[in-house]
Amino acid sequence: MDALKLEFEPLRCVACGLCETVCSLNRDSVLSSMGSSIILHMEDKANYFGLVLKTAGDGLVLGRPEGHGAPQQPGSGGPGAKPILLREPCDLCGGEPKCAKVCPTGCIKVVD
Amino acid sequence: MDLMNGRIAALDLSTGEVTETQLDEDIVFADPSCVSRANAIWKEHGEDSLVLGTGLLTGSLVPGACAGIVAGETGLMPVMGNFATELKLSGFDFIALTGTAPAPGYVWVRDGIIEFVKSDAMRQLDSWGRTDRVRDDQGDRRIQVLAAGPWGDSGNPCAQLVNCHWGGEDKAGLGSRLASKNVMAVAVRGMGELMVSDVERHFQTCLELRSSLVSRLGPSKGLASYFDRAGKEDFSSLAHRDVACFGCPHPCRTFLKIAEDPKQMALSHREPGYLHYDVPALRKAFEVGLDARSATEILMMCARRGAEPVAVLERASSGGRQLTPAIVKDLLVAPWDMEPMPAKSYEGGFSIDRAVAIGLCPRLWGKAGFDPSAIGPCVESALGRGVPM
């Protein structure tokens, strides 16, 4: 399981929010988005959205629509780190990540 | 209570007083329709009240479980996007707004709290400005906002409530009903949680239902999956990204960028375009000879003003004149004396049907075919029992 990790194809994301919800469901057995290790970042008026994942080993993994390597400009309103730093890191749901299963577009992938 | 909070709140806007009643589980299980419940609450609180509600399945993992409802004197509107999910997770199943606030402001709902926030400045803003103001005031970009605009303020029967900048749900003139209470917007943020009876089974049954829907519907093409005209070149060449409502595997929302290159994926222009899902409005726009760019510009202006675009386009094109965004812009500044449009003008929009009644998207389930027997296992896993649908 240690070799598994999640990868994003951000442009496939449609911002349905299911990944957040099933993450909380797996962790806390409730429907919510508050306990998730994955966060949907959304600037709806600009139609800018992507994912932020808190991992145990790699810190924050950003799924930005402009690409992983693009730097975040100060004040850009891009994915913010503060709220997610207070959350538990992804535990890969014990080896079968539910966010990847529930994602309707294949934006979230499990890689070995 | 699984999938529900069991709470109905009533906010008397004239005093700021909030009263709560319990939502009886037995009554919900006997008749789970949020439409009939919203109507009953509306009647209980008087004709000038406005009721916001969520469906039994809203916020669950059932595909398309995003729908809520607003009921008022002029009719009903479904609420799509993320508003209803956030409302439910804020701790309330239904909220009734009664009376009239002594000064302009907005209703702010979160963490089991509902309050009226006075804001004189909001009166000067359009619906986009009101949404932005609430989010700035409360410091959270994910607050969901139903906002009236200047057309609502003026009492125009063809005003619309705008859902986080976009229009498409309110074809009942509820923008004017809300504004008549001195309420410029209703804002919700859901930081609570909902229980489900059998977590693993709910996940599995909903996953199976989702897979079945996806294989039946095929790949999503955004709005073009639901409205053929959106597949034409003038529309598709401006398309940026498709956006789903909460829990939707086959989204009907396509964002067109008109102020910058649609291929621009980084955050640059703050207001680059418009999220299209208002099929009746787009159909009308194309009928009167507009292309996708002009239609986008006009729908954007209508949303800002809180004006229902089918009525605007009907009125603006009367006499057969060739419409341009500039003509509509001039007309939108001064709200007109207008009559509500007949219901048939809104064909292809969101219907108030059995899907909405339990919190599911009527457009998704209309396309897939609403099938209570297929949804049943998802409901039973969530509630520990079945309900009539």
DSSP state letters, B16-85:
TEEEEEE--HHHHHH---HHHHHHHHHHHH-TT-EEEEE-TTTTSSSTTTT-EEEEETTEEEEE-TTHHH
Are A77 and B207 a contacting pair at CB < 8 A?
Answer: no
Region B274-282: mean pLDDT is: 98
Among partner residues B89, B245, B267, which is closest to A76 by beta-carbon distance? Answer: B267
Are B251 and A70 a contacting pair at CB < 8 A?
Answer: no
Min Cα separation B249/chain A (Å)? 5
Task: Give the chain A residue whose CA is nearest to the CA of B260.
Answer: A46
Task: Give the chain B residue whose CA is nearest to the CA of A19.
Answer: B247
Min Cα separation A101/chain B (Å)? 8
Among partner residues A14, A45, A65, which is closest to B242 by beta-carbon distance? Answer: A14
Are B251 and A42 a contacting pair at CB < 8 A?
Answer: no
How far apart are the C-alpha atoms of B305 and A106, rounded to whole Å? 38
Min Cα separation A68/chain B (Å)? 11
φ, ψ at B46 (rounded to 5°): 100, 155
B 92-111 → A contacts, CB under 8 A: none
Ramachandran class of B146: left when φ > 0, alpha when ψ lies in -120 to 50, beta otherwise: beta
What integer best gives the mean pLDDT of chain A? Answer: 87
The C-alpha angle with vertex B220 and arms to B344 and B377, in degrees rounded to 5, equals 85
**CB atoms near residue A57 (< 10 Å):** 8
How far apart are the C-alpha atoms of B11 and B18, rounded to whole Å? 5
The per-residue pLDDT for range B40-71, each reduced to its tens digit, is 999 999 999 999 999 999 999 999 999 999 99
Min Cα separation B303/chain A (Å)? 12
The per-residue pLDDT for range B113-151, each reduced to its tens digit, is 999 999 999 999 999 999 999 999 999 999 999 999 999
φ, ψ at A25 (rounded to 5°): -65, -40
Q: Is B177 an interface residue toward A (CB < 8 Å)? A: no
The per-residue pLDDT for range A26-60, each reduced to its tens digit, is 999 999 999 999 999 999 999 999 999 999 988 89
How far apart are the C-alpha atoms of B356 and B359, rounded to whole Å? 5
Confidence of residue A70 (pLDDT cuts 50, 70, 90): very low
| Helical H segments across chain A, by residue range | 18-28, 82-85, 98-102
Contacts of A44 in chain B (CB under 8 A): 141, 164-165, 243, 275
**B313 class by beta-carbon count within 10 Å (0-12 exposed, 13-18 middle, 19+ buried):** buried
Query: pLDDT value at position A76?
Result: 37
How much is the pTM? Answer: 0.96
Are B61 and A32 a contacting pair at CB < 8 A?
Answer: no
Among partner residues B195, B246, B269, which is closest to A30 by beta-carbon distance? Answer: B195
Query: pLDDT value at position A84?
Result: 82
Contacts of B340 (CB under 8 A, 6+ apart): B74, B157, B158, B173, B311
The per-residue pLDDT for range B146-164, each reduced to its tens digit, is 999 999 999 999 999 999 9
pLDDT of residue A77 exceeding 70: no
Q: Is B142 an interface residue toward A (CB < 8 Å)? A: yes
How far apart are the C-alpha atoms of A105 and A99, rounded to whole Å? 11
Query: pLDDT value at position A3?
Result: 78
Confidence of residue B334 (pLDDT cuts 50, 70, 90): confident
Q: Is B304 an interface residue toward A (CB < 8 Å)? A: no
The per-residue pLDDT for range B63-74, each reduced to its tens digit, is 999 999 999 999
Q: Is B246 an interface residue toward A (CB < 8 Å)? A: yes
Are A30 and B193 a contacting pair at CB < 8 A?
Answer: yes
Are B244 and A49 a contacting pair at CB < 8 A?
Answer: no
pLDDT of residue A83 exceeding 80: no
pLDDT of residue A72 exceeding 70: no
B 32-61 → A contacts, CB under 8 A: 59-61
Region B341-346: mean pLDDT is: 93
Give me the amino acid identity at B261.
D
Contacts of B42 (CB under 8 A, 6+ apart): B49, B50, B51, B71, B72, B96
